[in-house]
Amino acid sequence: MKRLRKWFIPALVILYLTGCSGTSQVTTPQPETNQGTQQAAESAGETERKTVYPLTITDATGNEITFEKAPERIVSTSPAETEILFALGLGENVVGVSDYDDYPAEALAKPKVGGVTSPNEEAILEQSPDLVIGGISMERPVAQKLQSLGLPVYITHPSSLDEIMQNILTVGIITDRQQQAEDVVAQMKADIKRVSDALQDIQADDQKKVYIEFAPGWTVGKGEYMDELIALAKGINIAGDTEGWNQISEEKVLLEDPDVILYADGVTDMTTGKSLDEIILNRSGWDKITAIQQSQVFGLDQNILSRPGPRITQGLIEVAKAVYPDRVK
């Protein structure tokens, strides 16, 4: 399998992950904040935690941003980050989104600032934002150009559920929505516990082999949150011996003979127009795979599966239901 790290994912694959959204394999640093914010975050005497400004944050690229106050005009160039902002109750503060942002429904009415890899700089500037937030989909030169224009650009690259939840908490600190962020993360942790409790007695020898295809010809190995979803759902990722996003080897999938095949529902090949399930079911020799013979091929909501935001643990529940339908209701 050919593997690719974050900054080298082809644009076509990024579109699948960002029309869905996009993350990959650069470790997200724990955000560095100023002492005042930390003291505020740790204060047990307040019913609702408040951020102390000025606030300095270091994003996943190592870029340091200082906020003098809570951002009031926010542009999001990533569907996942848009979902985070709305989940924190910041919908009215969102003044621009990417062309792919479709959740929640209110995001559809927001001004569009272009694509996810190279958003329109002029469209962003027209909104006079005091925060531009994006994920792996934003190309580095674009981020650097926006930074050179004096815009505070915060880039995220979460590769695990812990990093996704930490990212939500960090956005909560930046925007002075700490309590809302903690409430969102608490629900996500409850989702994880629900799956863990339901599957806790499954032994290693009884775990099912799982193959996941999120875009035509592409799967995922260790070091990414999709692989973690499979592991938390007590599945064995047949691509788990690789790292990052990988072009599949059809022969390897045949050899591994997965018990369950998962795919991103609604995805179509941009060249042939064929749906992803049609592609999977009609590959040469794949009719011999156990998952196909036993009708254990399941499409999962592409956005929930691919967006590293508040709904990713709903994706975990859906993965667990597909792998062990008798245990996770």
Q: Rounded distance, CA 28 to CA 246, Å?
A: 20
Q: What structural domains does the chain harbor?
A: 13-187 (3.40.50.1980), 201-323 (3.40.50.1980)
Reported as a single tens digit per residue, the pLDDT across 198-211 is: 999 999 999 999 99
pLDDT bracket for residue 78 (50, 70, 90)? very high
Read off the pLDDT of residues 96-143 as tens digits, 9 standing for 90 and up.
999 999 999 999 999 999 988 889 999 999 999 999 999 877 777 888
Dihedral sign of CA atoms 85, 89, 95, 98 in order: positive
Provide the 8-state DSSP code for 73. Answer: S
* Mean pLDDT in residue range 242-258: 94
In the chain, % of residues over pLDDT 90? 73
- Choose among 8, 21, 159, 17: nearest CA to 78: 21
Mean pLDDT on 181-198: 98
pLDDT at 36: 43
Q: Report the alpha-carbon distance of residue 32 to residue 177 in Å, rounded.
A: 17
Among candidates 218, 261, 262, 223, which has minimal Cα distance to 240? 223
Of 316, 90, 102, whose CA–CA distance to 212 is shortest? 316
What pTM value is reported for the model? 0.87
